Chain A
């Protein structure tokens, strides 16, 4: 048995550990704390410990499990809440009370619960990695597909229908002359990505119901997003909104080194929120990983790998997954802290030199993929990573390394947040490289002229920022009427379209159809105003038109009333403008 020789915070040295291999999970000390071997020199292994090491002393035992850090995959993951190393927090609570004590272990998947399994293959069928053997209705929303684990193939020897626990045999697989029992549960080492047959270019947007995202900076299913922003700029609200409303099949939310009360908010609100499509509680498609900031730092490092491994497992079933990581900066800090304890040579700002590689490896696990399966199923993982740059300055290493590998950038802006413009995504600095790939989809599924409306709106916003510099010099009143109209329309886009309240029952989700109608109303109003001004009207007169008042109430319209509301709005706009322009014509004659 191994023995501890040195303790320094979360990093300990142990000697004579049996069969010590890199990244083996070990149990440390009399309390049996969970740790992982991260360096071997001679017969001394360095271990990062996932729990607080206070009170641990040299001479205490170390036991090697001889397994890498792994997750358990199978029915029961959905609706669960885990810590960074996949210990179920609800079970820990029954074991140790309201505070997490050390050295606890609990299986990630409930070993007693029976699941009703329906086979989809029969005796004698040839199966290989990824073949769907059968199904389990995991929650009302999701059918769990029980698959042949990666790297296994053979002939089905037997398979049975009925109620089983995750580790009971549901059948037998004959492979290479051996008989292997089939179970619903499989395990997977978290640091390794699950292989796919290939990746495809993303073609479909992830619809989030958030106007600034869907209309201006969309992300494709299988895409990657970086959300950097200083504190208080609404990163977490954006992440929460996405996990509530995004049209992915499954959401994995990794609270990595963030606030405990935020996880509680998800735990209390998600079971009450209903999925807009199915009307079932959102919790039924959600897996939560909660490693709050005060929980051990090494487990924080592991938490995003735990999350992505679970996401990959569901992707392999053919589902679309959205994974939110809040925040990758805390993960990077955990990496830095451990690297410091290992006395590695620091790179930029004390982060280890391999920070960039680790980040890109993580983001590379996203994508729209052909998963390993005989019928070449498709599934996707969309990765949304929040970044918390110190002082909001994104020139720091974590933001920069993230921006290099992500294709969408939602720039959260503190000055927008401080005036309560939410979501505070800056429309001038943000970008989406999927925009062009997705134009065909939008033209086909939303409206033919979607791209035209979008481009017009963006150019108005761009124009506004130029005009504002002029206003700073000469004052608003000195502007020509035409320019005043541009400012007026830009303000409407900002206030009546981009601003969206996450806390309002109706406004929290906005369908693509409604988004299109809203933006179109404003853009068309802009065109009309321009024409009216050409005919000699001034902004004072235009601002008195009654139909304009309706635009500021567009957000409050229920989805059911969208068509009738906008039909009447557009009619009113037509009649308002024909009146003032007709009046001008009469006066001119």
Chain B
């Protein structure tokens, strides 16, 4: 396979944007990694983007500053991007290429291709284990299950990092004691945000069961393309080889997509919507679809990607394409944030597609589906009435309508709102739901089963 990797090609004929055209190369393979040596001794990394007989087009990761066609040389590695994985990775911090940046020793272990093969759909196991995050709006209304990919749709200025850290801290499968770890991939976040996560992990001792991959905003944007794949490769190793349950948090996918657009425009590809490449859906799916469970293997990969919606716009290509791939979304709302509600999760546009598999008797509680549906429809009615009463005044509303209005208020204040360290059990969440519903007339309970009303309802009889 390896053909004379020691040869340095000094045959660059053209440098345009991040692209190098190297001539007289016998046969480079597609997607092969290359090392670029500059005159001043610096080295950079690149990847073969297109290969023809005797010619290779190379995409440089990072800047092309200082490169020329006479002295700069290129060395072909003979293989696609690979990283070394082992369970020594736990507790360590890496860059996008999985090289340690915490001053520790390099990882020695199995070399694995970072572009993983697709999981055979036939081998997948249906995700069905309820993960208790301790957050009522997630557990009660948009339940997360093991093997799911559930993104946080956030926007600048909203506390998505706090929420992600709280979930990482509190997440557990009730009644089970299994090895659990967090893989955190940060793409283009600020060093302040990076420090916040490192501190959160260190303070709670969670760092010992976490692997951190950091690419801060000043690092090369091309590294952001590699980083989530390296992080997921590490996660897959820990999940499927070491039988651990891995929670992968990726922040911020918006920066990833920006990097993708940057590369695409440098390659002069036909742009799709808003300049993002037409293949962004496929590209994102090769990240998100690496979540899952496999039949007969103990581990699992659950993903919580975070993305900040540009201009709070849900129809922007980044949240839009993400929503089409992931199994639901947790949407954060600026209105709730302004009203001082934490976590500012708006349940109406949120959704967990796998909720049904994870709830019900023997998983959570028999009344879970009903309570959740009832809370949804009552809150939706209340919110509609809120905008109506802003026009016609509260007095013009009927008696029941006023009750719904009050319900929406208390739902936000008591159910959505909770402490940054408050870890509610699923029973607490559901009971709180019943308590709030009891402010409405009992005959309005159309979504819950009659016997559940009798068993769990809090109406005075």
Contact = CB atoms under 8 A, between A and B. Distances in A.
Interface string A47-86: 0000011111111000000000000000000000100000
B397 interface: yes
B282 A297 contact: yes
Contact of A265 (B118, B126, B240, B285): B126
Interface string B430-452: 00000000000001001000000
Contacts of A552: 446
B125 A264 contact: yes
Interface stretch (B22-30, B181-189, B404-412): B22-30
Nearest to B443: A549
B388 A471 contact: yes
B31 A6 contact: no
Interface stretch (B211-219, B332-340, B347-355): B347-355
Interface string A313-343: 0000000000000000010011011001000
Nearest to A295: B118
B424 interface: no
A330 B30 contact: no
Contact of A503 (B123, B327, B356, B393): B356
Contact of A98 (B32, B269, B297, B443): B297
A231 B388 contact: no
Residue of A92, A392, A419 ringed by the most chain B CB atoms within 10 A: A419
A293 B121 CA distance: 11
B401 A476 contact: yes
B228 interface: no
Given A264-B125, A419-B348, A419-B380, A58 B323 contact: no
A475 B392 contact: yes
A154 B354 CA distance: 55
B115 interface: yes
A9 to B, nearest CB: 8
Interface in B316-332: 316-317, 320-321, 323-325, 327-329
Contact of B120 (A98, A336, A337, A478): A98
B126 A390 contact: no
B53 A59 contact: yes
Contacts of A53: 30-31
A290 interface: yes
A261 B278 contact: no
Interface string A370-384: 000000000000000
Given A99-B119, A232-B329, A390-B315, A55 B32 contact: yes
Contact of B324 (A261, A388, A414, A496): A388
Contacts, number: 218
B4 interface: no
A350 B271 contact: yes
B317 to A, nearest CB: 7
Given A265-B126, A337-B282, A349-B273, A418 B446 contact: no
A198 interface: no
A297 B53 contact: no
Contacts of A472: 388, 391-392
Given A6-B52, A54-B30, A260 B380 contact: no
Contacts of B30: 7-9, 53-57
Residue of A58, A92, A337, A340 ringed by the most chain B CB atoms within 10 A: A58
A290 B396 contact: no
A196 interface: no
A168 interface: no
Contacts of A100: 117-120
A101 B380 contact: no
Contacts of B323: 230-232
A294 B53 contact: no
A386 to B, nearest CB: 11
Contacts of B391: 472-473
Interface residues of A, number: 77
A165 interface: no
B377 interface: yes
B62 interface: no
A473 B289 CA distance: 48
A101 B123 contact: no
Contacts of A52: 115, 117
A40 interface: no
Contacts of A230: 315, 320, 323
Contact of A93 (B120, B279, B285): B120
A6 B27 CA distance: 10
Contacts of A495: 446
Residue of A8, A81, A97, A295 ringed by the most chain B CB atoms within 10 A: A295
A81 B286 CA distance: 21
Contact of B127 (A54, A261, A503): A261
B228 to A, nearest CB: 13
Interface string B284-295: 011001101011
B11 interface: no
A98 B295 CA distance: 8
Given A98-B123, A263-B124, A294-B286, A478 B396 contact: yes
A89 B281 CA distance: 23
Contacts of A563: none
B51 interface: yes
A15 to B, nearest CB: 9
11 contacts: A6-B50, A6-B53, A8-B50, A56-B29, A57-B51, A236-B353, A261-B126, A261-B148, A265-B126, A297-B279, A340-B278
Closest 7 CB pairs of A and B: A391-B315, A475-B396, A293-B285, A419-B380, A231-B323, A294-B289, A57-B29
Given A261-B124, A265-B357, A390-B321, 16 more contacts: A8-B51, A56-B29, A57-B51, A90-B122, A97-B120, A98-B123, A99-B119, A232-B323, A260-B118, A260-B124, A293-B285, A293-B289, A346-B270, A391-B320, A419-B380, A475-B396
